[in-house]
Amino acid sequence: MKNYQLPADKVLILRTCKNDMSSYNGFIWPESGFVEAPDWNDDTKCGHGLHGWLFGSGDYDLKYKEVGAKWLVVEVEANQVRELKGKVKFKNGTVIYSGGYKTAYDLVMKWFWIRHAAELKAMELVDGAATTSSEDGVSVVTTKDKSHASATGYYGHASATGYSGHASATGYSGHASATGESGHASATGESGHASATGNYGHASATGYSGHASATGNYGHASATGNYGHAVVLGQYGKAQCGENGAVILTYWDGKRLRHIVGYAGEGGIESGKWYMLNGKNELIETTVEK
């Protein structure tokens, strides 16, 4: 998708479906190409249309949570999008990507930032909008549901505290925190820290010596830089680390939470691979679609 260009009159919609590409009422989505609702009604009521999250903004509790669920990016004409509670609906569009969460989310958010460059510079804080800063040492906080926060300067801090919020810190030693359920936090600079504290949260730290923490249940933590630590403090999580790093996963023994630690290069733990706990609370290799 490196050469993809979003036409000016179109938007991107993120959504999920089951592993077999089916969704509500057995509707089958194509892995790519044109798709249309057979029962379209032009109104603002749920149903009778295709549904998703406009530029990734919406109620992520509506996603399919089964293992192997597919993430789709759909290119849609902007004038046919109808706002609903926690999502939007539309008549038709073109599936330009189907697969894992990270690739789908990154593509959608790339074009969100491009489209909202003027608003980002103004640092507006509105429901469902985004804020950003390129100043060193600046903190950016969004408290509305479905908001997006980005800090791009050195030592910047980005925090999204509302439900389904997204926080990104791209500068050196930046910190990103998403505290609402289904939140996503990303720190891409060296020595960055990413924390997602709600259930179904995702935390990613890709820089050297970065640390990622997901404290809710079903969380994913990824720290792929050298010496990074990926920690999931909630149950049923998955984690991966980089070289000389560690993964830390959590289980309930009936009385208290306990942690299992795996060090890259020891005991069969490899950098760049995802791990989860099996029924015996042992680290085993698993997959998370990219």
* Domain boundaries along the sequence of the chain: 10-122, 131-286
Asked if pLDDT for residue 128 goes beyond 50, the answer is: no
As a whole number, the mean pLDDT across the chain is 78
What ranges make up the beta strands (E) of 161-290?
166-169, 175-178, 184-187, 193-196, 202-205, 211-214, 220-223, 229-235, 238-241, 246-252, 257-263, 274-277, 283-286
Q: Phi and psi for 104 in degrees, rounded to 5?
A: -65, -50
For 13-31, write each residue's pLDDT tens digit.
Answer: 999 999 999 999 899 999 9
Q: Does 235 score more than 70 pLDDT?
A: yes
**How many C-beta atoms surround the C-beta of residue 53 within 10 A?**
22
pLDDT of residue 277 exceeding 80, the answer is yes
Q: How far is CA 256 from the centre of its chain?
A: 29
First-to-final CA distance of the chain: 13
**Percentage, residues of the chain above pLDDT 70:** 66
pLDDT of residue 134: 40
Whether the per-residue pLDDT at 162 is higher than 70: the answer is no
* 118 torsion bin: left (phi>0), alpha (psi -120 to 50), beta (else): alpha
User: What pLDDT shows up at residue 116?
Assistant: 67
46-89 pLDDT, tens digit per residue, is 999 999 999 887 777 788 877 789 999 999 999 999 999 889 99
User: What's the mean pLDDT in 78-101?
Assistant: 94
More confident residue, 272 or 130: 272
Average pLDDT over residues 201-226: 72
C-beta of residue 230 within 8 angstroms of C-beta of residue 221: yes
| Rounded Cα distance, 200 and 205, in Å | 17
The answer on pLDDT for 273 being more than 70 is yes
Mean pLDDT of 136-163: 49
Using only C-alpha atoms, the chain has a radius of gyration, in whole angstroms, of: 19
Distance CA 273, CA 280 (A): 20
Model pLDDT, residue 183: 62
Instruction: Identify the pLDDT of residue 83.
Output: 92
* pLDDT value of position 167: 65
In this predicted structure, what is the pLDDT of residue 42? 96
pLDDT band at 146 (very low <50, low <70, confident <90, very high): very low
Q: Is the pLDDT of residue 156 over 70?
A: no
Residues 158, 16: Cα–Cα separation, whole Å: 27
| 187 vs 39 pLDDT, higher one | 39
Q: What does the block give as tokens for 153?
A: 């300067």
Burial 218-255 (b: 16+ CB within 10 A, else e): bbbbbbbbbbbbbbbbbebbbbbbbeebbbbbbeeeee
Burial bucket for residue 153 (CB in 10 Å: 0-12, 13-18, 19+): buried
Q: Which helix (H) or strand (E) holds 88?
A: strand 87-90
Looking at per-residue pLDDT, the higher value among 115 and 196 belongs to 115
pLDDT of residue 102: 76
CA distance 59 to 53: 8
pLDDT of residue 7: 95
Contact 283, 264 (CB under 8 A): no
Helix (H) or strand (E) holding 13: strand 10-17
